[in-house]
Amino acid sequence: MSNLHTEKASGVFCQKFNTKPRGPNCTNASLSLYIEISFCSKRRTTNEKMPPKSSLLSFSRALFKLLLTNPLFSHQRPAGTPKLPKHPSPPRGAPPILPSQTLIFSVERWLLRSSSVFPYFMIVAFEGGGIFRALILLFFFPLLRCLSSETRVKLMVMICFAGLRKETFRVGRAVLPKFFMEDVGEEGFDAVMRGGTRVAMSEMPRVMVESFLKEYLGVEVVIGRELKELAGFYTGLLMEEEEEEEEEEDRGMKMKLKELIDGREVVGFGWQGKDLPHKISSFCKDVHSVSEREKRGWRALPRPKHPKPVIFHDGRIAFRPTPAAVLAMFTWLPFGIILSVFRSLVFILLPYRISIAIGALTGMTNRVIDPINSLHLQRPRTTARSRSCLYICNHRTLLDPVYISAALNKPVTAVVYSLSPVSELISPIKTVRLTRSKEEDRRRMENLLRRGDDLVVCPEGTTCREPYLLRFSPLFAELADEVVPVALRTEVQMFYGTTASGCKWMDSFYFLMNPRPGYAVEFLREMSTVCDGNGRRCAAWEAANSAQAEIGGALGFVCTSLTRRDKYQILAGNDGV
């Protein structure tokens, strides 16, 4: 095939993975793909007639269509029921909301698309109390369906909160905001955000919803159920109405609420007349409600409209824990534990070429995007220092260096800030601990590079689950004149393979416990740390920002100036260990 055809093949392959052609050497892996695409295109352009449909196939399609249109197999709309629009909006008859108005809205009945609070209590049970507490809550779910709303909440509070220490309870701040934000309805959110002052009321305990509403939506006052406590532990009981009023007075909430309401027109959202709480019934001039049927058609709030993005969140559960999803998780759990141990042993004991193939048979999905650009790094060089290479990557899990080593099919050395003894023991590659002392860390990495070791460095210093990049440390730019950026992307279905406050030595096991854990490794062009694209000499921090932008652009992630300390302050209340 001519050079023209090979370059075209490279362009097709790179376009599929949103990368650019990388020269005539980027053709071997993409040539077969181009031939296949070209062949399929020629088949579509031919005028050959398709073979006639068989009578049996035609009969089957007709029968299937008849079953779908039969009233016995399809849900019929009651007579006289108006047809709802695809994405219903808040009530059109409501008067325009003015910035001078105070809005009081129900979190469950207006803001969230689903009024079921079971998933959020399940998160508290699993992340705050452990797997056995979550299993007990799931066992009681059939009974919860038979109880009234008030009794249902009381029973779930008893199961989820009894015995939890108040000081260490951080699920409401570190875990739940991500799930709340995913369930916010765009239509309800738009109505709420038009008001000048917002007051939120919830049927859930205040410790579950307050952080999300105040920090991520900017709500001024949050009114929720209060929990009883004894000797620093939650008893699992809710305060009575008189006790809640005394608690509100102690926190000065009543005074603040009075200041927000006095002299303003108050509008309520989410309640019907008989359901309106007596605390606010005397204040509201108008009250607007929405049915469950209408809320099911609301759109999820898109990420660009988030008042404050949820960049950091903790916890192991990676899915919305509805009863059916939690039942599926517990059914999968015994198989997942065995599969995780088996996958770990395969990576530890077998060569990469064999372990990757076996991992794929167990459901793991691994993708290397344009690795041909990195092959020149393996060519023989004159000195030990010139043979070494420094790879910098975004940090998704502890397995990042392992997957880079597998993609290169050669050993690398991972330099890490914190690593548990268990993770260090089972690691299939060499690991070197850093001390967070800049001078000592520079000395250790320079010695490794001088010996000819290939290093993998994560300049973020900690993992980030969401499509954001933390600020890159400029230390790597002071060690080598050229580095190779590597863009990493992961995929999980049930469990996150990272934690800020849990057992870090379990991170890799949780990731491998997913039914189909996925990793995508993309090697980018080798970049200089001493000169920018225009040949101008640049400082180390400028090279770090350029590397961050390069990786962020390849992944479509947003670059931020947040640091490891910011993450641990939000999720764990400390500076990190």
381 pLDDT higher than 80? no
**What tokens appear for 520 in the block?**
């995508």
Angle between helices 323-349 and 131-139 (to 10 degrees): 150
| 135 close to 98: Cβ distance less than 8 angstroms | no
Q: Which of 516, 97, 59 is nearest to 267 (CA)?
A: 97
**What tokens appear for 208 in the block?**
């579950």
> What pLDDT does residue 72 have?
36
> What pLDDT does residue 206 have?
94
Question: Position of tokens 């209590």?
Answer: 121
C-alpha 437/C-alpha 564 separation (Å) is 15
pLDDT digits (tens, 9 = 90+) for 236-279: 999 987 777 777 666 667 677 777 777 678 888 888 766 667 66
> What pLDDT does residue 338 have?
97
Question: Position of tokens 């991520």?
Answer: 216
Cβ-based neighbours of 126, under 8 Å, separated by 6 or more: 133, 134, 315, 316, 317, 321
76 pLDDT higher than 60? no
**What tokens appear for 137 in the block?**
């809550």
pLDDT digits (tens, 9 = 90+) for 313-360: 999 999 999 999 999 999 999 999 999 999 999 999 999 889 999 999
| 451 close to 357: Cβ distance less than 8 angstroms | no
| 407 close to 56: Cβ distance less than 8 angstroms | no
Helix-, strand-, coil-residue percentages of the chain, each rounded to 5: 45, 15, 40
Q: How many CA atoms lie within 13 A of 136 on its CB side?
A: 16
126 pLDDT higher than 80? yes
Percent of the chain, pLDDT > 70? 76
Say which residue, 195 or 544, is predicted with more confidence. Answer: 544
C-alpha 562/C-alpha 575 separation (Å) is 13
Q: What's the length of the chain?
A: 577
19 pLDDT higher than 90? no
What fold does the segment set 102-305 form as a domain? Rossmann fold (3.40.50)
Say which residue, 352 or 91, is predicted with more confidence. Answer: 352
Max distance between CA atoms of the chain, in angstroms, equals 85
Q: Which of 26, 11, 19 is nearest to 555 (CA)?
A: 19
**What tokens appear for 339 in the block?**
């599969």
426 pLDDT higher than 90? no
Q: Which amino acid is at 513?
A: M
| 546 close to 524: Cβ distance less than 8 angstroms | no
Q: Which of 450, 471, 468 is nearest to 460 (CA)?
A: 471
Q: Which of 206, 197, 313 is nearest to 262 (CA)?
A: 197
383 pLDDT higher than 50? no
C-alpha 431/C-alpha 158 separation (Å) is 45
What fold does the segment set 323-571 form as a domain? Glycerol-3-phosphate (1)-acyltransferase (3.40.1130)
* Burial per residue of 541-577, b for 16 or more beta-carbon CB atoms within 10 angstroms, e otherwise: eebbbbbbebbbebbebebbebbbebbbebbbeeebe
Q: Which amino acid is at 500?
A: A
Q: Poorest-confidence range of 75-89, 103-117, 161-175, 241-255?
A: 75-89
62 pLDDT higher than 60? no
* 309 burial type by CB count under 10 A (0-12 exposed, 13-18 middle, 19+ buried): middle
3 pLDDT higher than 50? no
Q: Poorest-confidence range of 121-125, 167-171, 268-272?
A: 268-272
pLDDT digits (tens, 9 = 90+) for 134-147: 999 999 999 999 99
Every domain of the chain with CATH number 3.40.50 lies at 102-305
C-alpha 561/C-alpha 500 separation (Å) is 19
